[in-house]
Structure 1
Amino acid sequence: MPTAGSPPPALRHAPHRRRLVSVAGAVVLTMAAALGGVPIAPPALAAGETVTIHLTTTSDSGGRNVTRGLERQAPVNFAATSPGADHTIAVDEGVRYQRFEGGGASITDTTAHLFRGGAISAATRDAVMRRLFDPVDGIGLSFVRNPIGASDLSRPGMVSLDDTCCDLNDFGANGYDTNVRLLTQQAKQLNPRLRVMGVPWSAPGWMKDNGRMDQMGWLKWEYYPTYAQYLAKYVQSYQAAGVPVDYVSVQNEPNCCQAGNPTAMNYPGMSWNPSGLVEFTKNHVYPAFRAAGIGTKVIHFDWNYGDYASFGSQIVADDALRNDPLSAGIGWHDYAGSPSVGAQAHDQYPSMTQFNTEHSGGTWVGDQHNEDMGDIIEHARNWSSAEVKWSLALNQNMGPHNGGCGTCTGLVTVQEGGGRAGQVDNTIEYYTMGHLTKFVKPGAYRILSTADSTVQNVAYVNPDGSKALLAHNGGGSARSVRVVWGGQSFTYDLPARTTATFTWSGTQSGGGSAGQVTGLAGKCMDVAGAATANGTAVQLHTCNGTVAQRWSRGADGTLKALGKCLDVAGPSTADGAQTHLWDCHGGSSQQWTFTPGRDLVNAYSGKCLDVTGNSSADATRLQIWTCTGGANQKWTVPA
């Protein structure tokens, strides 16, 4: 995601000489008021709050030795002024992005075996489940993504939920999923806001052309309806246990990971192409769910950012599949590619919800602490609504596993045998996920915060109005951070190799009228290149959360960004006169009235702010034009 505004247009326009104008503007303002429009004015707000701070610190280069885990620190207070700092993070709850759906991990068969198979006592299991899922006494995990049948993190064996050909009369009879379901039921009781997702690694072998769950293989065409019913029965089995399934994916990592050499695939997997997934989902899963009265939604793709262009994009390009009420959105894994693909997908389909559904920790990760926090922050900044790790638990030998990953790590490590048998240890992944899930609740919204590559950060406002700012200093030295919220701020020294979550409540002051101004195609009014020189172009650009798109409303009708005013060049009253950034001077060419019809009317000219040529392309200049009521003259300003 860009951190310094958007690129400037190819051509720059020279600054114009200024002259102050006011009389014509007064007439236009009066006319606008008569039509029901009012000059833009901010509401009167107040704040002054205590900030609670929790820190996690690691001491080693691998980011695994936790010396301080979610430890509460002495609080600080917002004040009208605060000392300067190495980094400034401005938080603006007036600018909202995607809704948060939850964070967590997978209750794999491995987890179920370790928790319910005798490795730990029932009392220990209950205590560990509380510290994982309880929102008060634990970290409040709020999303689980559970395999349907065997995966690579299972006890050895290629087992589905119905291994008997050639119908579903024996579904669930083998009891394979029982302990996973019981743990999910317990998690739901501990956190009623828990989201539950199910996903298969493979169909039962008897439905596939190779007759087995491993070594890839394709779902036989004649079993498309039966396999859709298999997924429906899975959802119904959880419903019967009092655990609604919010989401399913029809395939984990489709066509991964040995498509070129299927016999080398030593754990469950299945081959698909995009058209097959569209056909199966749209014409079999959706109808099967509807016929059974199931409202569970489907998360599509469920694979890497790096495979979106060649695979995932072809799935969600199908309008009927993507826009169906049973479509939840797209799922990402982050083993290949860049999270910036999420921003690209958002540009293509702004209403499509995105979920990060899997990214495992493991011994291959150079710095687990830094990677985890980079994932949590950058996934969110690129429009992800959920953050889900891989297995909730593994043992000290990173097992048991069923082929596939023998070097994965979880949020907790169960000591299975040995001198510490029966004990359960938190890993760094427990604490990093806790920095999100303990403080950010399902239904929260990501809000604007200043992007910073050194002190990575992301901010949310919860349904109860409380705020949470996650900030991570992955470097080897402390960094001072100044957090600005409306008209107040505080400064905090963030130690090296440390993550902080700052939380506070209250109403934003001084900045409640600031945020994005959106127009044609949902894009933002943007200062080209985030430049502050007089004459810098004001343009339409994809919304990116940077300061170049943060506009504050003045009581005098001005719109300000980067300390300067939206202004009409010249000043001119001609159709096509361009807008730019200029020093605020009090003239009516810098005054704007927002009407009930969502027009922004310039006080000097009486004309509307207009997107040139009705084009939604990035870097399209904004101008004034006779008001037409067209979509390229409609705007949404911060409330």
Structure 2
Amino acid sequence: MFLNYLFLYFLCTGYCRAEDCLSRDYDHGGTVCVCNSDHCDTIPRPEKVEQPQLLIYTSNKAGSRFEQTTGQFEQSDAPDNQIRIDPAQKFQTILGWGGAFTDAAGINLDSLNEQLQEKLLRSYFADDGIEYSLCRVPIGGTDFSTRGYSYDDGDVDEDLVNFVLADEDHQYKIPFIKKALDLTENNLRLFASTWTAPKWMKTNGEYAGYGFLLEEMYQAWANYFVKFLNSYQSEGIEFWGITTGNEPSLAMAPLDQINTVGWNSTQMAKWILNNLGPSIRNSNHSAINIMILDDQRMFLPWFLDEALSDNTTRGYIDGIAVHWYADVFFPASLLTDTHNNFPEKFILATEACNGAVVLGSWERGESYSNDIIQDVSNWVGGWIDWNMVLDLGGGPTYINNFVDSPIIVNATGGEFYKQPMFYHLGHFSKFVPMGSVRIDARSDITNVIFVAFQRPDDGISVVILNRNEEVVPVALVDDSRGTARVELSERSITTILYW
């Protein structure tokens, strides 16, 4: 019996207690946490504390990462800098948080030894990681592949007789998706998005550029979606959702090299009504969530008003997918306008990334959490990052579209780096689990932004972003508990958790 306990102790020391960040500064306005064969930082699941106690988790530019402290509620006069929490006022349910299983992510995972692969996947999916719960899977190739491809290249094949998953699926996607499913005990939702149709289905005969779907191929394209879902199902992988296709607006930029299928609102409405909707609902995947748009805020809500003007078409759609790339030009209030027009549809943020790799940029982490708070405060039910893992150059990408990622792999150095973006996302994915509900949180404070949730375990989670260069004292007020005074360190993101 003693040997059994001793075995469990040594097993637990690797995964049950928190490991601190091994910090490294690349002089880019912050630090990364280095993971290698000997070390990788972890964060255990919070343990419930009794009233009047609360838990405080802080990550900041100075180098703290999920630093845990405690506080407590007190009965006292209302101080200044209040953030008032009202759990009685509830809004949207959280669908999940995560990133994308791109070819590039799989290639970089595959470049590591098995021990580092395990540490990286645990960092995202395990209960001592940031516990991603909703991830995106490309249908075929993207700009973050090493080549352009679809699942039925070659001659015209309207019956999809030659449809087959690519080598990339079997080598770089399916194996890592299965490992992530195992780490989450199958509590990982997946949704799929297409980038391009086979060239023979498109008006321009190319993967990218000013190309739309040939109308005579509308049904073949819908069948292509079903074929993909069937193929992954045969590999033991089920999907929670699909989108109508990644960024159809790219077809309006004919010099852009990113694979795409262009749609206007009239074309999309016709395809959903006559082809995609019936094909999915009459398949083995009839319960899957269909999301429209998968593009920028600039299309809200007018594109949807036009595409879903027919009630039957509207009935086929479960949710609305949005990207972040034009958010600086288009206000988050457009999301609320969209919710008001389509209150029965959920809204999900399905892609975001920054430009070329900058190791240690705290500002890029802040840009993530700032966008998340704005989105969620305007009815968005989750936020999905783009590539989960890239190399030091921000690839691979066969069109040289190099970008940043929350985890960067240095395969030759035998290590990977967790960027500030990883931790900013983690303050939501770790402490606001799937099924949480946004609740009312109000304040007159103008120099911090925040959002609050009620978790499925009835805990309250409040995430606060302080972009100031000085400490900001706040008073968290919950009438059922009292007032808790918290000091937000400079340039920090803080999660307060209580039951």
Q: TM-score, normalised by structure 2?
A: 0.84
What is the root-mean-square deviation of aligned Cα atoms in Å? 1.9
Cα distance, 1:299 vs structure 2: 0.6
Q: Letter of the aligned partner of 1:321 in structure 2?
A: T
Cα distance in 1 between the residues matched to 2:365 and 2:166: 39
Provide, for residues 284-309 of structure 1, a one-character-per-residue CA deviation record: whole Å limited to 9, x for no partner. Answer: 11211223221212110111112225
For residues 139-150 of structure 1, the aligned pairs below 5 Å read 139-150=130-141
Cα distance, 1:173 vs structure 2: 4.7
Cα distance in 2 between the residues matched to 1:444 and 1:309: 26
Task: Give the aligned partner of residue 450 of structure 2.
Answer: 457
Provide, for residues 161-186 of structure 1, a one-character-per-residue CA deviation record: whole Å limited to 9, x for no partner. Answer: 22243142232253232221222222
User: What stretches of structure 1 move > 6 A for 4+ residues in a row?
Assistant: none
Are residue 228 (structure 1) and residue 231 (structure 2) matched?
no
Matched residue of 1:306: which SS?
A: helix
For residues 139-538 of structure 1, the aligned pairs below 5 Å read 139-155=130-146, 157-165=147-155, 166=157, 167-178=159-170, 179-191=172-184, 192-256=186-250, 259-260=252-253, 262=254, 264-294=255-285, 295-309=287-301, 311-324=303-316, 327-336=317-326, 337-363=330-356, 367-403=363-399, 405-406=401-402, 408-417=403-412, 420=413, 422-451=414-443, 452-487=445-480, 488-505=482-499
Task: Give the aligned partner of residue 58 of structure 1.
Answer: 61
Q: Percent identity?
A: 24
Task: Give the aligned partner of residue 24 of structure 2.
Answer: none
Cα distance in 1 between the residues matched to 2:231 and 2:446: 46
Q: TM-score, normalised by structure 1?
A: 0.66
The change in CA–CA distance for 1:330 and 1:316 in structure 2 (over 3 A counts) is: farther
Cα distance in 1 between the residues matched to 2:202 and 2:396: 26
Task: Give the aligned partner of residue 133 of structure 1.
Answer: 125
Provide, for residues 129-168 of structure 1, a one-character-per-residue CA deviation record: whole Å limited to 9, x for no partner. Answer: 011011x21000111112111111222x111122243142
The change in CA–CA distance for 1:147 and 1:173 in structure 2 (over 3 A counts) is: closer
Cα distance in 1 between the residues matched to 2:187 and 2:318: 17
Cα distance, 1:310 vs structure 2: 5.1
Provide, for residues 599-623 of structure 1, a one-character-per-residue CA deviation record: whole Å limited to 9, x for no partner. Answer: xxxxxxxxxxxxxxxxxxxxxxxxx
Alignment counterpart, residue 74 of structure 2, candidates 74, 79, 82 = 79
The change in CA–CA distance for 1:297 and 1:485 in structure 2 (over 3 A counts) is: same
Provide, for residues 378-425 of structure 1, a one-character-per-residue CA deviation record: whole Å limited to 9, x for no partner. Answer: 10000000111111111111111132632x1112001143xx2x3111
Bigger share in helix: 2
Task: Give the aligned partner of residue 555 of structure 1.
Answer: none
Matched residue of 1:252: which SS?
A: coil
Cα distance, 1:189 vs structure 2: 1.8
User: Unpaired runs of 5+ in structure 2?
Assistant: 1-49
Task: Give the aligned partner of residue 120 of structure 1.
Answer: 112
Cα distance in 1 between the residues matched to 2:213 and 2:340: 33
Number of aligned positions between the proteins: 437
Cα distance, 1:96 vs structure 2: 0.5
Cα distance in 1 between the residues matched to 2:70 and 2:380: 30
Q: Letter of the aligned partner of 1:307 in structure 2?
A: F
Matched residue of 1:146: which SS?
A: strand
Cα distance in 2 between the residues matched to 1:307 and 1:357: 15
Cα distance in 2 between the residues matched to 1:126 and 1:247: 27
Whether the 8 Å CA contact 1:460–1:467 is kept in 2: the answer is yes
Cα distance, 1:464 vs structure 2: 1.4
Cα distance in 2 between the residues matched to 1:173 and 1:234: 8
Provide, for residues 184-213 of structure 1, a one-character-per-residue CA deviation record: whole Å limited to 9, x for no partner. Answer: 222122123222110011111121122221
Cα distance in 2 between the residues matched to 1:146 and 1:355: 15
Q: Letter of the aligned partner of 2:373 in structure 1?
A: I
